[in-house]
């Protein structure tokens, strides 16, 4: 599949410090890619260079085959952007806001405006003033605005910031539907790892300005089991002697093992006189994996600027 967006050796140097170091990334149609990184990693800097808000020191961004270096306006014509809480004219209706923004693009018809209103489920409230909208509704209106000109690439920076759980779920569902039905390549930067795990097809992790991992969320995860046994130090020693990777977790141990190995391990525990209180499957969350990848780097709302 041909990528919609390619970051090619993208770099940013400020003074003598390299903020972004030869970043290479491909983003594909119909997929949602999460962009993660600890504080100071360079996420916001990367996004700013992708949309021309910050000058690149080296490298290029290619959108739908068009280099921003050679044809900046042509490349950006395929981009839609939502940054946190979209700013709208609150004294106007949602529909009039969309009409206003539609004038900034060529060829956006009334039919297209009605189409995006339907896509984000705003038909019943679109003619009411934005000042009466909840935050979730304003987010949906912002999504409609970003989709007016049929972009092939959609960038969202903290799109669910401030939404309640119902609003987050609703926004995620609309975003997934748009990616799948419109074939839009979506790039989401967020500190909400649990939401990224539910929303995204892939994740890209940046640390100290370098891309350290690109992962397909559908990949089979390693098999772990949580065990509680006493004496716990003897249980850990036995597992390590058997060649298992073990780490402390809560009141017990987290063991990298296959299901077929568990009965044999229990027999050996009992033969050693160990008491076993719990054995249950454990799936590492994206948060667990993120902390492992970054060495415990903090992830928070105050992402790298």
Report the CATH number that the domain containing residue 234 is assigned in CATH.
Answer: 3.30.70
88 and 197 in a common domain: yes
Nearest to 98 by CA among 126, 120, 123: 126
At 84, is the pLDDT very low, low, confident or very high (cuts 50, 70, 90)? low
The CATH number linked to 139 is 3.40.50.300
The tens digit of pLDDT for each residue in 39-74 reads 778 888 999 899 888 899 999 999 999 999 889 888
92 and 231 in a common domain: no
Residue carrying structure tokens 């995204």: 200
Least confident interval from 11-20, 96-105, 188-197, 216-225: 216-225
Nearest to 137 by CA among 122, 158, 157, 119: 122
User: Please, which residues bridge with residue 186 across strands?
Assistant: 32, 154
Over range 227-234, report the average pLDDT.
Answer: 92
- With respect to residue 290, please indicate whether it lies within any of the assigned structural domains: no
Over range 175-201, report the average pLDDT.
Answer: 87
96 and 239 in a common domain: no
Q: What is the pLDDT of residue 302?
A: 34
What is the pTM assigned to this prediction? Answer: 0.76
66 and 22 in a common domain: yes
- With respect to residue 42, please indicate whether it lies within any of the assigned structural domains: yes
The tens digit of pLDDT for each residue in 282-304 reads 876 777 677 767 676 554 433 33
- With respect to residue 11, please indicate whether it lies within any of the assigned structural domains: yes
Q: What is the pLDDT of residue 257?
A: 87
Residues whose CB is less than 8 angstroms from the CB of residue 89 and which lie 6 or more positions away in sequence, other chains included:
96, 97, 100, 130
251 and 178 in a common domain: no
Record the tokens describing residue 257, joined without a space: 């093992």
Nearest to 79 by CA among 69, 95, 66: 66
Provide the residue range defining the domain that includes 178.
Answer: 5-216
111 and 15 in a common domain: yes
- With respect to residue 302, please indicate whether it lies within any of the assigned structural domains: no
Query: Could you give the CA distance from residue 285 to residue 283 in angstroms, rounded to a whole number?
Result: 6
- With respect to residue 100, please indicate whether it lies within any of the assigned structural domains: yes
- With respect to residue 297, please indicate whether it lies within any of the assigned structural domains: no
134 and 44 in a common domain: yes
Query: Could you give the CA distance from residue 262 to residue 260 in angstroms, rounded to a whole number?
Result: 6
Domain boundary among 216, 233, 253: 216
pLDDT reading at 220 higher than 60: no
269 and 150 in a common domain: no
% of residues, the chain, pLDDT over 70: 92
Over range 130-141, report the average pLDDT.
Answer: 90
Question: Rounded mean pLDDT of the chain?
Answer: 86
At 259, is the pLDDT very low, low, confident or very high (cuts 50, 70, 90)? confident
Q: What is the pLDDT of residue 305?
A: 37
- With respect to residue 289, please indicate whether it lies within any of the assigned structural domains: no
The tens digit of pLDDT for each residue in 138-174 reads 988 998 999 999 999 999 888 887 778 888 888 888 8
258 and 125 in a common domain: no
- With respect to residue 303, please indicate whether it lies within any of the assigned structural domains: no
HSE at residue 147, side-chain half, CA atoms within 13 A, is 26
Contact 62, 23 (CB under 8 A): no
Q: What is the DSSP letter of 130?
A: G
Q: How far is CA 74 from CA 66, 68, 79, in A?
A: 7, 8, 10
pLDDT reading at 3 higher than 70: yes
Residue carrying structure tokens 């594909």: 28
Over range 266-290, report the average pLDDT.
Answer: 83
255 and 170 in a common domain: no
205 and 110 in a common domain: yes
Cα torsion 239, 243, 248, 249: sign: negative
Q: What is the DSSP letter of 284?
A: -
174 and 241 in a common domain: no
Number of domains in the chain: 2
């Amino acid at each position: 599949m041909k990528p919609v967006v390619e970051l090619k050796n993208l770099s940013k140097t400020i003074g003598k410090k390299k903020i972004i170091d030869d970043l290479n990334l491909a983003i594909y149609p119909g997929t949602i890619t999460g962009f993660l990184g600890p504080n100071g990693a360079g996420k916001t800097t990367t996004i700013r260079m992708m949309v021309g808000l910050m000058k690149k020191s080296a490298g290029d961004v290619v959108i739908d085959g068009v280099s921003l270096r050679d044809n900046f306006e042509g490349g950006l014509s395929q981009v839609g952007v939502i940054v946190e809480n979209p700013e709208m004219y609150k004294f106007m209706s949602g529909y009039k806001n969309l009409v206003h923004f539609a004038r900034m693009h060529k060829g956006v018809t009334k039919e297209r405006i009605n189409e995006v209103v339907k896509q984000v489920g705003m038909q019943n409230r679109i003619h009411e003033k934005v000042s009466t909208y909840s935050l979730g509704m304003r987010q949906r209106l912002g999504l409609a605005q970003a989709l007016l000109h049929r972009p092939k690439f959609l960038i969202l920076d903290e799109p669910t910031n401030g939404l309640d759980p119902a609003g987050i779920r609703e926004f995620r569902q609309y975003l997934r539907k748009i990616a799948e039905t419109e074939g839009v390549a979506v790039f989401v930067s967020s500190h909400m790892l649990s939401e990224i795990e539910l929303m995204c097809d892939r994740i890209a992790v940046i640390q100290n300005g370098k891309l350290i991992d690109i992962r397909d969320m559908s990949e089979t995860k390693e098999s772990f089991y949580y065990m509680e046994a006493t004496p716990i130090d003897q249980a850990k020693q036995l597992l390590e002697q058997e060649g298992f990777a073990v780490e402390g977790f809560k009141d017990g141990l987290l063991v990298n093992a296959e299901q077929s190995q568990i009965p044999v391990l229990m027999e050996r525990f009992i033969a050693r006189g160990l008491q076993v209180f719990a054995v249950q499957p454990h799936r590492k969350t994206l948060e667990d994996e993120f902390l492992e990848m970054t060495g415990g780097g903090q992830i928070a709302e105050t992402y790298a600027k």
